[in-house]
Structures are given as structure tokens and as C-alpha cells.
Chain A
Amino acid sequence: MSAAPIPHGEPAGAGAARPTNYLNADYGVRSWLLTVDHKRIAVLYLVSITLFFLLGAAYAGAIRLELLTPRGDVFGDDTYNKMFTMHGIAMVFFFLIPSIPATLGNFLVPMMVGARDLAFPRINLLSWYLYMIGGLFALGAMVIGGVDTGWTFYTPFSTAYATTNVIPAAIGIFIAGFSSILTGLNFIVTIHTMRAPGLTWFRMPLFLWAHYATSLIMILGTPVVAVTILLVGLERMFGLGFFDPRLGGDPVLFQHLFWFYSHPAVYIMILPAQGVVSELVCAFSRKRVFGYAFICASSLLIAVLGFLVWGHHMFTTGQSVYAGMIFSFLSMFVAIPSAVKVFNWTATLYRGSIAWTAPMLYALGFIGLFTVGGLTGLFLSTLGTDVHLHDTYFVVAHFHYVMVGGAVMAYLGGLHYWWPKISGRLYPEAPAKISAALVFLGFNLTFFPQFVLGYMGMPRRYHVYVDEFQVLNVLSTAGATILGVGYILPLFYLIWSFRYGELAPPNPWGATGLEWQTPSPPPTENFVRTPVVTTDAYDYPHLELLPSPKEVPVG
């Protein structure tokens, strides 16, 4: 480290002098709220989405509490409807969709392409403000009485019959949608126009490919749900008839428009997670990825095919049988690129030098749980079985396996992996491993019983159920408690590490990638000189040539 003077305000107990980096370059609330530095914006997002995650988790806790018993004894029917609605809204629109792209993506995309910032830094800041404003509307809707339509806002209930605060919630989601669009726009332009010299498309880390594909979906899908929400709002306010059969409209048309976005939206949630997993698997098996080009192609294929399958959410709601058959058939194809990725990650692990760090535990957990989630998605895509499984807990278990067992675990893995770069500190490894184990165990205990419940016929969104379902529900709630502990621990030790963690070197993992060529934390401009790239993405030396396994820091 250079012998720079100790910056103002740094704790002397830190020992070494910290050079100017993006965290200490400027102080004060204004320097954060008016920043255009993509790294600071990423941290702003990190804080805000964590708050929404905690909110969504609180609603989840309420749901699991209620489901301990077969009677509706904690909440009345309408209140329970609000619990699962607001759990869904908080988690889907204000946590999962932004999560990896807005935090890790914003932080890393410019660094991975070798640039000083994203293409449009002020638009990046605007996207955070839009997220916050949208969040305030949604929060407001919750505070003034909540919404009970389900996060899916099906009509004509949401437009004509619901007596809850649909409009403020809809406004919040509408605004947050534009936050998402602007993030995607920034990534696309940055990746197309600002790659460092020598960084060809096929030398880019898979994290970038994943975020590019995600951005395609953000740009092409989000506006459709935005205009649909607008129509729902207008219909509700003026008594229009787009989606109301009494007025000549069709509720299924709402569903077509809604799911045209909301199905690709799940790929917005999973593609960045897959990008993270590719990075983790390579770094912690110290091997180049197997089948790089196939993983790139799979990411793009998922983005495109994901737009062709939305009707598989509507098999039983009145869509024509022929359309149902087409959607079912196409849905089988969208599983293929994801399967290719799972095979390729596994092949990467084979004969790799595996390091059992916390991020790697999350990545391995992802591979297993995502596979289960993905396969059960195929059961649901099969028209015949879906008639039995639709609107049961089988669906709930399926999507939690991919979104929580998949996306959230990848998010946590990525957060740990890049924590040294973001914070300049090492997180403590032992608590991190314990958290990963608790999350994995707690998750499976929470959601596996739900597959069985769904198969046995327990409907989703009901808080009253027949007595024979109670044992499985109690197991699920027990699992949720363990899962909650697993999630709370990182909150504590990551914040702790900001102050007391060991100072991180530029490349604590010995990993490849431009982001690891900068100090931890990086200076505001990322690179003193624009790097020139001359190698492929995962240019690890062949393992046979290494004298001894590289050590990774142990907390």
C-alpha cells in the first residue's frame, strides 16, 4: 500500500494507511445521495433492497406463523390475503428483480469491462431514486391498509371488487419498473460500447453475458407490464371495461399481458444468479469453465425463449386448449439451456481444485436446488399434470426452489465473494460457512414439505386447511425459522467486518477478472489506466502445473 496520509476520519486502529478509494473519497450525506459513481450507487441499492428483503421476510414469517395450525386463528381471511400479497410484492418487485443486477451488477459491470463507470452514470442514479420512490408508494400502500389481490393483481378483482389500496401499490410497481428499465439500458450500452481494448465478446466473464441477457429482458418485457398496470389503474378509477366481463372485457387478456412480462421476469431473477454461479464455480475450482460458448448461447436463448412460454401460467384459467398446448410444448424447450448450464458447471467442478469457502457452498447449494426447482417447473409445464398441480403448494415450492434456493443463494454467494472488493474487508469465514449451512438446511426443511402438500392437494393462498396437512406445515414453519437465522447472521457479521474485518488485499481469492486487478476497495475511477485484455476469461493455469494449492484466507 502506498504511504498516503491517513484520510480524515479513518480509525487509527486500522493500522495501515488507507489510500483514497470510492468509500472515503468524499464524505457526507450529499456525496452519497448525489453520487454518480456506480460503486456508491450499488451500495445505496444494497442497503435499500436489504430493507425490502427484511420487510418481505417479515410477511413470510407472518404467513408461516398462521400456517402452523389448520384454522385461521392468527389472521382473518382478508388480512391473510394481504400478508401473502405484500410478501409477494416486496419480494418480487423490490427485492428479487433488482437484487443482483442493481447491487453486484452496478458495482461490477463497469469494472469487468475495464471502464471508469457505466455509460450513463446520472441515469444510474435516477434509477435508484425511481426505485426508492416506487418503494415509498408500495410501502405507503402497505401502511395505509395493504393490498389483498395477490402480487399478480388478477382482474376483475383488482379492478372492480377489491376494496384495498390497489392504486398506490400499482403506482409503486410502475415506477420501480422504470428503475429496472434504466438499469438494463445502462448495462446494454456499456457492454456494447465501452469494453476495454482486447476485451472481445468471447473473452468477457460470464457474469457480463448473464447481465446482458438479463438487460434484454428488462428492456423488452418491463414496459408491457408497466402499460398493463396503467390500464388496471385506469380501469379501476374510471370503471372501464378492458378486463371486466360485465363490460365486454376479458380477464384473461390481463393475464396474457401480465405474464408476458412476469414470466420473463423470473429469468431476470435467475440469469444474473447463474452468472454469479459461473464466476464462483470457476474461482473455487480454479479451472476455466467447461463449455464457455455454450453458456453464453444458453444465456441468450433463455432470454429469448423465456418470452414464448407465458401461457403456462394460464392453463386452467380459460385460455384456449390449443394455445395451452403450444405453450406447454415451448416451455419444454426453455429448460434446455438451463440444463446445459448445470451440466457445464458440474463438468467444471470435475477434477478441479475445490475450495470449500462460503461462496462456494452457496454456489454448490444453488446447483442442487436450482436443478430441483427447474425440474419441478417441467412437471408444471406439462399440461395434464398442471391441471392437478395449478394453484397448489406444489407451485409455491417450485418457485421458491428457483427463486430462494437459486437466486437468493447465488446473491448471498456473490455478496460474500465480492465483499472484499466492495468493502475492503474480509468477512469472517467460520460464521459465513455456518450461515450457508443453516440457509441450505432451513430452506429445504421449509420448502420440500410444500411439494408434498401441493401434490396432496393443499391450495395456495389459503390459511385454512385440512388437519392431515398440519405436520408438513409445522415442518415448513420450523424450517423457515432456521432459514431466518441463516439470513440474519450475515447481516451481523458483514456489518461487523466493515469495522473489524481484516483489510483485504486486491485479490484475496487469486481469481481471474479485471475487478481483481484493482485495490480493495477500488478508487473512484476504478482503473488508473484503461486495462488491455489479452487473455480469455478464466485463464487459470492448468492444475497439474501448480506447485501447491493456493491458500484462501480463513476468517
Chain B
Amino acid sequence: MKELVIVSGKGGTGKTSVSAALAFLAPQKIMVDCDVDAANFHLISDAVIKKTHGFKAGFEPHSNEEICNNCGKCTTLCRFGAINAGIVTSLNCEGCGVCAFNCPEHAITMQEKEAGQWFVSDTSFGQLIHAELGLSIENSGKLVSKVRQEAKKIASNNSLPLILTDGPPGIGCPAIAALSGASLALAVVEPSLSSMHDLERLAELVSHFNLPIMVCINKSTLHKENTKELIDWCNSKAIPIAGQLPYSDAFRTALQSGKTVMETDDEDVKEQMKKLWKNIAKKLDIPERKSGLTFFQGKLNPFR
């Protein structure tokens, strides 16, 4: 089972649009949306939620007013300015438990915190695992790990060769949680100074994990000089370019109708997207398209 994670560093370079197009092309896979605090994949894949699960992570203090004698020790010890004589400002609280463990009256207890929800959905391209982080909740990295874990279970139970992951932007905890232990990172980059700058930091992060990385240049025709510079940079770092997608309004119009770019009539983009997928499938060593034989083997195999 291979895990492809689509990332970008900079946001808005086209991760979800590219992920959805690849989901359209890849024959057998499960999809995961790891951008848990601003998930979008379900909007482009006609997702219908089949199962909803609560997600608990981290802790929050609850103080018992009847026991609290307002001694103020919790207020003194809290480094986040989150508790004042037993009254918790949950927006500031990091859930460390210092107030509870050091309360002389044992008036404070730490309780597990509702941190969001995760979903199993059916989409036009197969199953999707996605999530919604609770409002202003920390633990996004943990929720990312959770959806990845669940996707792995389903993939292995159904002998699916690919987990296709739409990743989060940035290089912080959600990106780290989405990338660690994956098979391949695909960075969707546009030829803008911002996106190229952010790719450098992303590539540094990915190399921390010893993870193979490929680059997809999106909107490659927007700025030819930058595209060339980007290709040169990738070459100098021995990062393979998996594909180049021309600038096209088809992405935008497809999105407006909740479709992937593969369902539009922009033949050029579709052709380039197929090439991109072919290169990725080759790199991951997984079948590029559904073969009739595997399909029947799957159906007929009594041990499947």
C-alpha cells in the first residue's frame, strides 16, 4: 500500500484541485483530506457522509467551585494566562494540567476534550476520510494522524494499493503529521516567488523525513521565466518534476460546479494531468489504470 501526500508549502496553489483530478484518474484508492482545519476535498467529489465519529484529544481543566477557596495558586503557576482563581479562559488554555496537578485543594480535574469530528464518506471516486477540527482547537496534528490511520485500515482491509492524501499548507504540525512515514510527497507549486520560496522550506522539511518528493508545476504558463527558474532549482536539488499544468480557467469553472478539471473540456490540461498521474504511478510502482484482469481477480478471489 502506497501513500501519496499532496502538499504545497504556500496555500492556494491547487492542492485540492490536483488531488481531485488524480482521484479521478487513479483506479483503486482511498482518499484522505488532511487539511483538517479547512477541509475542501468533499466539496469537489460529491461526498455523502456515511459515518460520523467524534474525536477527543487533549485535556481541559474543570474546577469545582465548591471546593475552590480562591487561593490563586493555579493563576500563579499557569504560564498561558488561562486560569484565574479557578475560572478557565479556554481560548488561552493549552491543556497542560499544571493547574489541576498543583491545586492544594484538588478542586481541578482534567477532562478529555472534544476536538472535532471525522467522517467516512462515499464520493464519485471512492471512499473519503475527512475531518472537521473543533473551533479554535489545538490538536490538528493528532486529527491528521487519526484520519490517516483510519484510511490505512480501510485500504488494507480492501487491498487498495493507494492512499491519496490532500495535505495541509505550511510546514508546521499538521504538515509534519500528514507527511511522516508516507511513500511520496507531491508538491504543487506555482511559478510565483512566494510559492517557490515556500517550496524551498517544504523541501527542507521533507528531507528531514527522508521522503521522496516530486514537484507538479501548476499554472506553469503564468510566468515562463519563473517556471524555468523553478525547473532549474528542482534539477539542482535532484527533485523530479512529475508534471506541468498550464494556467487555465477550467480549474475555476470546474470548481464552481463541484467537478474536477478532468470533467471539463480543456483537453490540454486533461492531457497534462494524465501525464502527471502516469509519472506518479510509475514512481509509486502502482497500476496506472484499472486492468480487467485485476478487477476479475479481485472479484473472484475468495480470500480477498
Q: Are A and B a genuine interacting pair, yes or no? A: no
